[in-house]
Structures are given as structure tokens and as C-alpha cells.
Amino acid sequence: EEATLHPMEQLKSHREAQRDTIDLPDGYRMCIAAMSQKGYHPKKKGQVNQDVFRIRGDFGGSGKHWLAVYDGHGPEGDKCSNFARQNVPDQFLTALRGDDVQGALTRAHVVTDELLAQAADINDEKSGTTAISVYMDGLRCYISNIGDSRCLLGSVGPDGKLVTTALSEDQTPFRRDERERVKKCGAVVLTPGQLDGVEPLHEEWKEGEGAAPRVWKEGEKYPGTAFTRSIGDSLATPLGVVAEPEFRELILNERDRVLIVASDGVTQYLSNLMCCKVVLQHTEPLEACSALVDAACRRWFEMEDRVDDITAIVAFIEPPGFSGDRGFRGSVMRLSSKQSRRSSARGSSKENSGDSKQAAEELAKTAQVDKEPSGEYLAPRLGLKLWALSMGFASGFLGGLCGIRGPPIILFFLHLTCPKAVQKANGAAITLVNISMRVVYYAIESTQGIVFFRASDWPLYLAVVLCSPVGVWVGGKIFQLMKDTQAKIKTLLAFLLVLCGISLLITIFL
């Protein structure tokens, strides 16, 4: 029966969740929920969830709490993340002496990394885990981060608008400071194509464009990590991929509404601001968690053929006298702009949602993620698909009508910003219409006694078929050589587009 369900519905039956409530000083309260969902790959059955979370109230004493997410990777990533889940908090309590919280957190992660390397039942040479932790001592929060999991804070700004603050920064080779740090340890930072010598050498990579830069041993093709800090990955440790966390510290106040701790399965395709918007549509943290996981999962299916493991902790912050409404239409609208913050120790990465009324309207359209998408929510995506299909039909029709023996090269389709499913639909529509028009054309002409296929032409047809894979191979090689040189690609495509347009016009008037 499960096999008949959409993969997204199947994944909902593979979730782990936890719900808790903790009391904080000065009349504050925090309602917490966590949820973890295993990923999906069409060609990998039976894969395990490599993400884990940890929530511990009264951790090491009354009023002290621990929230953490660990995102494993590699062949034994699940073992690594579970090992860190158990050992990092225990090692922290062992190391904590006095008020040196950051020192204890550093030692906890480093010692856990050393113990993992010594574990007889875990091979961590090419496996490891991220670690994003929030240690709370009263209202003071200590955020420690290793890897690319993320911690976010949603607050009400002085003007009543939602402000999202990133309390961690992803540690990847995209960051110049991290890149230079590992290079000083002897690492080489290149994309796989640059390593193979098929792409030009440069360091002007942009996230979301082409292959990501990775950490390599000089002259070798390992370890190839896409991150610069990790627990585990012992092959990469000598190259600077270490288990020393970065920190952020803040004190919660009456403007803060939600704290989110999440793996990159959540933040890969959802912005920090959207994560906060999604959860603030709910008053129950477990419902908010489920909505966030649903939203992230849906975006993965829109953008790729697979889904990463997805894990999130949502902690709603209730200040003294809180009325129960955490959304834009409630507490966010009622807060006075004269209320001051208790601490200015906030992160520099902030996103503003704009006017509160407009933000609420946007949320009403986009945050219906805990149920099947409504027609209003689907409209933009459905409209994009219909537009792409209609354009595909029109271009295919013109190409077939003008005698072009294949889909015309159209820049719009080569770089249409849309999910893979829509791109596939474009290609299918163009090809189908071209074939259909060619068949109709041949059928009409044959009724007038015109013969298109002669025995002497078959060697030519065969040569065309054989040459097609060669053309694909040559084109692929050219793409590999040029794909990081955006100016050359755009110039070449613009030239081909103009050439295609001219040929269409000439053919029409012949």
C-alpha cells in the first residue's frame, strides 16, 4: 500500500518527534518540539536517517537546557551522528568548570572527535557529522556550530516587523576565511571539475551555481569534503577539517518569538526568513515542526529528484504575560516599538519581512505546509508549469512547421528558473510536438505523391544517428570546459539564439 503513495506521503510515516516545555527565569517559558525525517532517493531503497536531535531539560542543573541537531554524512554517517549525540553533551558536562562555557563546548567537541576516531565499530575516515548546539543557562544562550547546520532566531523588530537573525554561519569552502584556514594546513580547495583539469582555476564560486568547491589533499582525489569543520572525517583532519566550533552568545528578551535549530535539509531550499514565517503560522510547536519539515520536503521534490534527511527543533519563546498568539496578526502586531532589547549581542545576518500586514498576507499564501497544498498555494507553481508547457508547444510547433529537424535552441528553456520536473516537461513537450508535426507534414505531402524516404537515403539517416552521440560527447566536453565561465556561455548562447531566430525568419519567407 505504501508503494502506491507519493514519496512525500511515504516519508511522513518515517518521522521521529519529541515535545517538551521548560520554564525559564523571570516568568519566561519555552515550548519545544523536534522532528526528524529520513531522506529519499529513487535509486536507493532502505536508506537510513543520518540526522538526529537531542533535547535535554534541566541539563546539568536546574534552569540549564540543551538543544542540538547532528547531521551525519558518509557511509557511516548515522553512526557518527548518534555517537556525537551521546558524547558531546556528556563531555560538555565533564569539561564545564566555572563560567568558561565556550572552553567547555570546545573541549566537548574536540574530545568527541578523538573518541570517534578511536571507536572500533565506526570507520570515520570518510564519515562524520555536523553539530549545532544551543546550551541555555537561564535566558542566556550559547550557540556552538560545526558544519552547515543552522540556528535561527525570529524576533519582533522595533517597528513591529519580523526580524530573522542567523545565530550560526555555515562552515564551507565558500567562506574565504575558512578556505584560507584549511589552505594553511596544506589543503587544496577546488571543484571536482577543477581538480580533473576540465575547468579553469579560480575562486569566484557562487553558491547554487555549478559544483561546490571541496577540500582535497594535494595531488590526490580525497577527501573531497564540502565543509571545513566536522566531527569525524579523519582523512580530512590533517587538512584543517577540525572539530573546533564557532560560537554566538545572546540573552533572550521579550521581543524574541522563536528559536529554530535545523539541519541543512531544512535550509538548503528555504531561506532563514521563510523558516521563521512557516513556524510562526502555528501556536503548537509540534505542528510548527511538522509544517517546516513539510515545507522543506516539498521544496526538495520541486528542485531535485531526491530529498535530504530533514531535522528541525522549534522552540517557541513565551515572555511574561504572553497571550498565546505567536503570529503576525497577534503578538507581533501588539508589541510597542518602545520596548528595548536586553542584549545587543545579535548576529549580523538579519532579514526583515517588510510591512506586517503584507507579511501576514504573504504567509497566508505560502505557509499552508502542514496540509495538502491549496489551489491558492499551488497557483504560482501551476502557472509556471502551464506557461512553460505553452511556450514549449509554441516553439515546437514553429520548429516543426518550418522544417527544423529537432528542437530549436531557445535561451529561455536553457536557463528557465524552475524545478526539474518542469524542465523535463519542457523537453518532452518540444520533442513530442516536433515529432507530431513532422509526421503530419509527411502524411500531408505523401497524399500529393511526394516521396520523402528513398533507399539511397538510408546510409545518410544512419550516419546522422551515429553522429548524434558524438555531438553529445563533444558538446558535453565543451560545457565542462566552459561551465564556470558565465560570460563565455552567455555569449555563445546569445549567438546561437540569434542564429536560430534568423534561420526561422529566412525559412518562413523561402
Q: How far apart are CA 317 and CA 260, in angstroms?
A: 11
Query: What pLDDT, on a 0 to 100 scale, did the predictor assign at position 192?
Result: 92
294: which residues sit within 8 A by CB, 6+ positions away? 8, 369, 370
**Residue carrying the nine cell digits 581538480:** 195
Q: How far apart are CA 399 and CA 181, in angstroms?
A: 54
> How far is the first Cα of the chain from the last one, in angstroms, to the nearest whole number?
59
Query: What pLDDT, on a 0 to 100 scale, did the predictor assign at position 132?
Result: 98
- Burial of 9 (C-beta count, 10 Å sphere; 0-12/13-18/19+): exposed
Q: How far apart are CA 386 and CA 381, in angstroms?
A: 9
The bridge status of strand 29-37 relative to strand 51-56 is unpaired
- Grid coordinates representing 308? 535530504
384: which residues sit within 8 A by CB, 6+ positions away? 418, 422
Q: Please name the CATH architecture into which domain 2-171+227-339+347-352 falls.
A: 4-Layer Sandwich (3.60)
Q: Are the C-beta atoms of residues 136 and 67 closer than 8 Å to each other?
A: yes
CATH 3.60.40.10 location in the chain: 2-171+227-339+347-352
**Residue carrying the nine cell digits 515546437:** 396
Q: How far apart are CA 210 and CA 191, in angstroms?
A: 9
Q: What is the pLDDT along the chain (510 residues), one digit of tens a residue?
A: 455 667 888 888 889 999 999 999 999 999 999 999 999 998 888 889 999 999 999 998 888 999 999 999 999 999 999 999 999 999 999 999 888 999 999 999 999 999 999 999 999 999 999 999 999 999 999 999 999 999 999 999 888 889 999 999 999 999 999 999 999 999 999 999 999 888 889 998 988 778 899 999 999 999 999 999 999 999 999 999 999 999 999 999 999 999 999 999 999 999 999 999 999 999 999 999 999 999 999 999 988 889 999 999 999 999 998 877 654 444 443 333 333 333 334 444 556 554 444 444 444 444 333 333 333 333 345 555 555 556 555 655 555 554 444 444 444 444 444 555 555 666 667 667 767 776 776 677 667 666 656 666 677 667 766 776 676 677 666 666 655 555 666 676 677 777 766 766 675 565
Closest CA to 139 of 57, 23, 31: 23
Q: How far apart are CA 390 and CA 396, in angstroms?
A: 10
Q: Which backbone phi and psi does 220 adopt, to 5 degrees? A: -125, 170
Query: What pLDDT, on a 0 to 100 scale, did the predictor assign at position 485?
Result: 56
Tell me: cis bond preceding 223? Omega within 30 of 0 counts: yes
Q: Are the C-beta atoms of residues 347 and 248 closer than 8 Å to each other?
A: yes
146: which residues sit within 8 A by CB, 6+ positions away? 109, 130, 131, 132, 171, 229, 230, 231, 243, 244, 245, 246
pTM: 0.70
Q: Which backbone phi and psi does 405 adopt, to 5 degrees? A: -85, 40
The SS3 assignment for 91 reads: helix
- Grid coordinates representing 390? 505553452
Query: What pLDDT, on a 0 to 100 scale, did the predictor assign at position 466?
Result: 74
**Residue carrying the nine cell digits 535545523:** 262
Structural Rg of the chain based on CA atoms: 27
Mark 62-84 as b/e (b = at least 16 C-beta within 10 Å): ebbbbbbbbbbbbebbbbbbbbb
- Grid coordinates representing 89? 553533551
**Residue carrying the nine cell digits 502551464:** 386
State the Cα torsion 385-386-388-394 to the nearest 10°.
Answer: 160
Query: What pLDDT, on a 0 to 100 scale, did the predictor assign at position 171?
Result: 97
